[in-house]
Amino acid sequence: MFIGLQVWMKLLVGSMNKRVAIIGAGPSGISALRAFSTARDNGIDVPEITCFERQSDWGGQWKFTWRTGLDENGEPVHSSMYRYLWSNGPKECLEFSDYSFEQHFGKSIPSFPPREILEDYILGRAKKSNFRDWIKFNHSVRMVENQENGGFLVTVEDIDSKTIIKETFDYLIVATGHFSVPNVPEFDGIETFPGRVLHAHDFRSAGEFKGKDLLVVGASYSAEDVGLQCKKYGAKSVTFSFRTAPMDFIWPQGVDERELLTSVNKKTVTFKDGTKKDFDAIILCTGYLHSFPFLPQELRLVTTNRLFSPGLFKGVVWNDNPSLFYIGMQDQWYTFTMFDAEAWYARDVILGSIQLPSKEERTSEMKEWDDRENNLEDAYGMIDFQADYIRSLMENTDYPKFNVELSQKEFKAWKKAKEKSIVSYRDQAHSSPVTNKLSPVHHTAWWEAMDDTMESYLKD
C-alpha cells in the first residue's frame, strides 16, 4: 500500500539512524542510489547509504575493459562489454522516466545507439544526482552474515589497502547483476580444437575473427549479436549451433544455423544432424549464472534467467527476510526502467511508506506471477508480462510515470522488425514513452556503420 507524502514524512522520523548497504554500482545499484538521493533531494530523511563497488569506477557492465579473466587487482573481470556493441532494443524502451535521452543530449537521437552513447546517458544521470560520495570503490564484499537481532554483518575487503572491514547494516540491497559469471558447457573433444575457444564474457572485438570461419554456440541475444557483428566486421562465415530451436532469422549470406554440436575433432565439428564443418574459432554464447558467493545459503537467490525470480516478492524483496532486496535479477525486456521501478519499491519499503503484506499473502501473490510466467506462449506475452510487472511496482511508489502502453507497442514493433530483417531493424525509428516524440533515423544504416564513436553517432 502506498502512503501519502505527509504520512510518509511522519514515518521517517529517526530513519537516519538506519544503515543501508548496496552491493554494486552498475545500472541496478545506480538506480538504488538514485532512488534514495531523489528522496533526500525532496527533503526526506534517508538512512545512511553505503555502496560497495568492486571496480574502480561506476557503470558495471557498461564500464568497458580490454581485460579478460582477472583485472589489475586479481579480481574476476565483471564486464562482458565489447567494442562495436549497439543497442539491440529500442532505447525508448529503457529510457529513465525522470531523465530522457533528449534531456541528456539536448536533442532527439536515433533509436539504437552504440555502447558509448548508452554509457554516457547512464552515467550522465548519475553524475547529476550527487551520490558518488556514497560509493566505496575498489571495495569487494567477501561475506554477509545474518545477525541474531536483525540486520547483517558485512565483511568487505578494501582492495587498495588490502585491509578487511566489518560493518553492520539494517538493510541490504544486492545489485551485482547476473551477466558476469559465464556458463561454460563441455563438448566431447573440444580440448583438441587448435583455434581460439572463448565464452562471450571474454569477447572484446569482432576484428579478431576477420577472415575466419566462426562457430557461435547459442541461440539467444548474445549469440545473435556477437555472431552477426563478427560477420559485419569481416568473418568469412558464421554458423550458429542451437540446442532447442533455431533463431530462424533471414540471415545475410555466409551465416547459417545447425543443431547442437556433438563432438569436436581438431578443426572439425560434428553436429547432431550428422553434418560436419571446419572452423577457425569457437565462441560460446551459452549464458550466465546467478552467483552470490558472498551470501549465506539462506539469503542466496537460486534461479535461472527467467522473468519471475523465485523467492522474491515483487521481484525485489527476499520473502524469508524482508530486510534483504535484489534488483535487476530477472530476464530482461525492460532494463533501466525496470531497475528504477524496483529500486523505488525497495527504497519505500525501507523508508516505511510501503507496508508489506503478510508472508502468506506475499507467497500467494508470488505463486500467481509464477503460474502466469509458466503459461506464457511467446515473446509478445513476455513483453506484456514484464510491462504489467513494472506497473505493479510503480502503482505503489512515486516513481515518475511513463507511457507503459507505448513502450509495449514499440517493443512489439521492434520484434516484428527483427523478424522481417535481422540486419536492418536497427534502422527503424521508435517513439519515446517519456516525451512521446518519434526519434530520427540514424544517418547510416547499421550494417554499413563501422564507426561507433559518440562523435560519429551524434552528428547530423
62 touches 96 (CB < 8 A): no
Q: Which CATH class is domain 5-180+288-408?
A: alpha beta
Q: What is the CATH number of domain 190-284?
A: 3.50.50.60
Coarse DSSP helix, strand, coil percentages of the chain, rounded to the nearest 5 percent:
35, 20, 45
Secondary structure class of 140 (helix, strand, coil): strand
Q: Which residues contact 454 (CB under 8 A, 6 or more apart)?
A: 114, 116, 117, 120
Burial of 321 (0-12, 13-18, 19+ CB in 10 A): middle
User: DSSP letter string over 174-236?
Assistant: E---SSSSB-----BTGGG--SEEEEGGG---GGGGTT-EEEEE--SHHHHHHHHHHHHTT-S
> What's the pLDDT tens digit per position in 80-90?
999 999 999 99
The pLDDT-based confidence of 70 (bands split at 50, 70, 90) is very high
pLDDT at 15 over 90: no
pLDDT at 9 over 70: no
Rounded to an integer, what distance in angstroms lies between the CA atom of residue 341 and that of residue 46?
18
Q: For the beta carbon of residue 57, count every other beta carbon within 10 angstroms.
A: 13
Positions of E strands within 200-348: 213-217, 237-242, 255-259, 261-265, 268-271, 276-278, 281-284, 312-313, 317-318, 324-326
429 touches 439 (CB < 8 A): yes
Pairing mode of beta strands 268-271, 276-278: antiparallel
> What's the pLDDT tens digit per position in 17-47?
899 999 999 999 999 999 999 999 999 999 9
pLDDT at res. 76:
94
- What is the phi-psi region of residue 274: left when phi exceeds 0, alpha when psi lies from -120 to 50, beta otherwise? left
pTM of the model: 0.93
pLDDT at res. 359:
97
Cα distances (Å, whole numbers) of residue 453 to 85, 149, 404: 11, 52, 31
Q: What mean pLDDT is predicted for residues 303-315? A: 94
pLDDT at 3 over 60: no
For residues 137-166, b (16+ Cβ closer than 10 Å) or e, as one string? bbbbbeebebeeeebbebebbebeeeeeee
Tell me if 5-180+288-408 shares its fold with 190-284: yes
Triad 162, 164, 169: Cα angle to 5°:
140
Triad 423, 427, 432: Cα angle to 5°:
130
Q: What mean pLDDT is predicted for residues 343-358? A: 97
Q: What is the mean pLDDT of the chain?
A: 94
pLDDT at 13 over 80: no
pLDDT at res. 16:
53
The pLDDT-based confidence of 1 (bands split at 50, 70, 90) is very low
Cα distances (Å, whole numbers) of residue 157 to 29, 109, 161, 444: 19, 42, 8, 47
> Domain map of the chain by residue range?
5-180+288-408, 190-284
Cα distances (Å, whole numbers) of residue 230 to 28, 157, 255: 29, 39, 10
Write out the H or E segment, with its range, that includes residue 153.
Answer: strand 152-158
pLDDT at 11 over 80: no
Q: What mean pLDDT is predicted for residues 280-309? A: 95
Rounded to an integer, what distance in angstroms lies between the CA atom of residue 326 and that of residue 312?
8
The pLDDT-based confidence of 252 (bands split at 50, 70, 90) is very high
